[in-house]
Amino acid sequence: MRPLSRLLALLLAASAAPSSGSSRLAAVEPSATLSAPVPAFTYDRHSFLLEGEPFVIIGGQMDPQRIPRAYWHDRLAKARAMGLNTIFSYVFWNLLEPRPGEWAVGDGAGEASAANDIAAFFRLADETGLRVVLRPGPYICGERDWGGLPAWLSRVPGLRVRAYNAPFLAASERYLRRLADDLRGLQATRGGPLIMVQVENEYGSYGEDHEYTRALRDILLDAFEVPLYTTDGGVEWTLRGGEVPGVLAAIDGDPRSGFAARDQYITDPSELGPLLDGEYYTFAPDLWGATNAHQTSEGQPAQVQRLVDDLDFVLAANNSISLYMFHGGTNFGFGSGALWRNYTATFTTSYDYGSPVDESGRITDLYLAFRSTIQKYAPRGSIPQYPQNRPLLEISNITLSPTVPLFSALGAKATSASPMTMEELDQAYGFILYEHTVDTALEGVLQPGDRARDRVIVYVNGVRQGVIDSSYIEPAEVRLSLLPGDTLRLLVENLGRVGYWSRESNTFVALEDPYKGIVGNVTVGSAVVSGWDIYPLPLDELPTGGGTAAPHAVAAGSPPVFFRGTFRVGGGAENPDPAALDTFVAVPDGVKGNVWVNGFHLGRYWVVGPQQSLYLPGTVLKPGGAENELVVLELEPSGDSLTVFGSANRMWANNPDPDYPSALP
């Protein structure tokens, strides 16, 4: 059946049965008899119905692409042992389709591609006794780069994201149908765990283009067989902007005010049904910054009690909820995104989120408090015993030596009179270097295009002159005095595309403008600088160089350098439990950079904090005394060695930014 005609059939069915608001009422045709099969999952005005019986969703968010695949079963088992019966999962389009038409679902080889196997995650959830709810986007926010949208969308002519726009809808439909192909047999209608699919994500916070959201609804109705729902903030303007006819309206945030708002402002019967808080926040994500403290309820009993009281409020009324997050995981590599606040507020590598199961998969006091509350509403003995936490690994100091200067590991270059963006060079993430040989004396303040995008380190003749960082409302000025023959280099770091925009705060520019690198002309004083060699540095692969020393001494002001060292860990068994090797890597004498272990990109570190250690899952390590390789790209090296160690405790602290000692974010 064509999507539009299918929608009309659903709406007719809804009008024939006003007691139900299900978007899948086509399963209950007006001509159906009492002997018709009971839908696997549906809902009426007040309750979700699982095989015809009332079902309260006690859910929690857990995104498989933030978790090493080998740990999926452990995290799901802990969800079940806390009393959850449903897992809500975002899916990151940019990881699944890194290039147009390339579906990057691995066969278990390699951490990144293996974690993209959403179907395998859902099968494990089913085996663990959990239902699942799919949140596929195409936009998902989730503090991810560009809200999970792939960077290549920015190169599609005429495309506008999150709009009734033919190129965007065409790309979104191809993605959603391809994902649906992978998950088709896992729907509740076919005996699987998948019970609902979300349309877009908190769209009412961004816009009110109802043609767009209806078009997405039609695509999803044709691709999936289970009910659809929307999630929006629990106030009038977000609910009005995000509502979609024929789709259950859910809220996020405070359940007390949100539930009341849903029933007050959503009046279309086809959008009404049981109350669901689709994102109840366990705390908040962390942002880089010298004054940004770690977000946690640990050590805050009043905060824990508030969270418990809200959960109790929802369950006591037989309403449904999803804890955001149950387990946050990690934004490995360059996965984290940003907020636009008239400066670039960037999210840390850690996505701990103050979750009941922390970033390393260990249960917390919040977990136990939630479990105790859920037990009041579960049949006696129905919640399994929770596992005890495994201790984390300590790794003593590892001394790393310089191997390859970043500027000696440049690949193919583009040559242009004016700078080109990352996207113009088919680059999604990482760094980009702009190099200019001065032919006319220049004097004055450097301006790297329209603004810093996002962090520009300035070098003249191989010596650092300063840093222009959009993490600050007022980025520093770098004044230059250049002579003919000088070499000017601008190393630009993509700190993550903005992943959240609100029409309330007029931040649409951040959505429509995802470009990284330099946009516009570089000027020094009033003079435009023309003639650039441009080197993409996505760092998909590390430069070779073995253990050889850097060709020159590393001193303060030197360009970035890759440091390398090796270490060994125990675990002599042939198949040791990788969780016994989990640790947190710290770079105490580093300023800012990235860490790889055995070729796996852990993510970014930055001395300003609040994150001071990077989660290293034991799945990455070679046990039994084998040699493990550790590589650090330090962006502001100051000596010929770098120290790294593994801690059994996560480290959180804030320090002044050495590039902005008196500035505040």
Q: Catalytic amino acids?
A: 202, 279
In DSSP terms, which residues pair with 457 in a beta bridge?
Answer: 467, 491
Quickly list DSSP for 541-573: SPPP-TTPPPSS---TTPPPEEEEEEE-----S
Quote the distance between the C-alpha of residue 660 and its chain's center. Answer: 28
Q: Cα separation of 83 and 371, whole Å?
A: 6
The pair of three-digit structure tokens given for residue 143, joined into one six-digit string: 């503090």
Q: Are strands 532-537 and 58-62 parallel, antiparallel or unpaired?
A: unpaired
In this structure, are residues 148 and 499 in contact, taking their beta carbons and an 8 Å threshold?
yes
Tally Cβ neighbours within 10 Å of residue 461: 13
Task: Please name the helix (run of DSSP H) or strand (run of DSSP E) that holds residue 166, with its range, or none.
Answer: helix 166-183
In this structure, are residues 188 and 40 in contact, taking their beta carbons and an 8 Å threshold?
yes
Quote the distance between the C-alpha of residue 213 and its chain's center. Answer: 22
The pair of three-digit structure tokens given for residue 559, joined into one six-digit string: 């360009």
The side-by-side arrangement of strands in the sheet containing 41-43 is: 41-43, 48-50, 53-55
> Residue 327 in 3-state DSSP?
strand
In DSSP terms, which residues pair with 276 in a beta bridge?
Answer: 320
> Residue 587 in 3-state DSSP?
coil
Half-sphere exposure for 492 (CA within 13 Å, toward CB): 31
> Residue 664 in 3-state DSSP?
coil
Burial of 386 (0-12, 13-18, 19+ CB in 10 A): middle
The greatest distance separating any two alpha carbons of the chain, rounded to the nearest whole angstrom, comes to 89
Angle formed by the axes of helices 118-127 and 72-82, nearest 10°: 40
Q: Cα separation of 74 and 62, whole Å?
A: 12
Q: Cα separation of 243 and 231, whole Å?
A: 9
Nearest-CA neighbor of 43 among 274, 235, 250?
274
User: In angstroms, how far is the first alpha carbon of the chain from the final one?
Assistant: 54
In this structure, are residues 134 and 125 in contact, taking their beta carbons and an 8 Å threshold?
no
Q: Cα separation of 420 and 176, whole Å?
A: 32
Q: Which residue intervals of 231-339 are DSSP H helices? A: 236-242, 255-265, 301-316
> Residue 295 in 3-state DSSP?
coil
Q: Cα separation of 59 and 323, whole Å?
A: 6
In this structure, are residues 115 and 335 in contact, taking their beta carbons and an 8 Å threshold?
no
Q: Residue type at 318?
A: N
Per this entry, what is the length of the chain?
A: 665
Looking at the chain, the number of H-run helices and the number of E-run strands are 13, 32
